[in-house]
Amino acid sequence: MEHYRVIPGSRVRLSDYDPGETREFSGDKDEAKERLDELNDRLEELQELLYAEHKHKLLIVLQGMDTSGKDGVIRHVFEGVNPQGVRVANFKVPTPQELDHDYLWRVHQQVPGKGEIVIFNRSHYEDVLVVRVHELVPRERWSRRYQQIIDFERLLVEEGTTILKFFLHIDQNEQKERLQARLDDPNKRWKFNVGDLKERKLWDEYMRAYEDALSQTSSESAPWYIVPSNHKWYRNLVIASLIVDALEQLKMSHPEPEQDLNSVKIE
């Protein structure tokens, strides 16, 4: 899966990435489901170990255009994990209180503690994406934020956080089909937002903003992965595989009990 990783210092052109590719899996959807179930089981084990060891922290950043599947990743990849040790943070329009502080203030409050996995459903990157596309602040302000974000993530990593950042890459035709599916299905209409159509008209501007963000903020310690996401099952497999691999590399172990339990007898 490493070829999906954005090499630090490289220039990203999203047109070079096929959002519909499935190169890492040659089986059918049934086999993909079996493989995802296996990864779910392994992730459940590793998450319990992370929680018990209480040493490491994992931050997962999910970014992508509307309908790219951020909610779907959370629902399918993390199926079965213990909610006691996993938390989702959503970043929507800032509140008046949040706007009174620097843009990272609300983000820092949501980062994981020891033994915890936190998933950012959208993130601090909105401040170099939406803010840029809609010209909410001057260019001279948002352009400084790339380095500020790098420094912020470096701080988290140096304090024991593993960071994985996933850009869920879909094309315009796939987005159109997913939006239409929401509109056509009475059970999904609650997910349809007319405002998404306005954002869709800004597709090219968003692609340029994403290309700059991915190019300028992928680092060795906090890499970006461009995940082909036209096929939901493949998107889930890629992300689950990368998360499991990252957790396994932590070489975690269960902590020893505080007392010698060899002589304990339960009557």
Handedness of CA 101, 106, 108, 109 (dihedral sign): positive
Question: Does residue 232 sit in helix, strand or coil?
Answer: helix
Assess if residue 258 is contained within a domain.
no
Assess if residue 117 is contained within a domain.
yes
Domain that holds residue 111: 2-248
Nearest to 226 by CA among 10, 65, 1, 5: 5
Assess if residue 179 is contained within a domain.
yes
Q: The domain that contains 178 carries what CATH number? A: 3.40.50.300
Assess if residue 155 is contained within a domain.
yes
Assess if residue 62 is contained within a domain.
yes
Assess if residue 254 is contained within a domain.
no
Predicted model pTM = 0.94
CA-CA distances (angstroms) from residue 24 to 6, 40, 237, 241? Answer: 17, 18, 9, 11
pLDDT value of position 178: 95
Q: Are 117 and 47 in contact (CB under 8 A)?
A: yes
Q: Which stretches in the chain have pLDDT values below 70? A: 258, 260-261
Assess if residue 262 is contained within a domain.
no
Residues 6+ apart with CB under 8 A from 110: 89, 118, 120
Q: Give me the number of domains the chain comprises.
A: 1
pLDDT value of position 25: 87
Concatenated DSSP letters of 120-175: EES-GGGGGTHHHHTT-S-HHHHTTHHHHHHHHHHHHHHTTEEEEEEEEE--HHHH
pLDDT value of position 103: 96
pLDDT value of position 127: 97
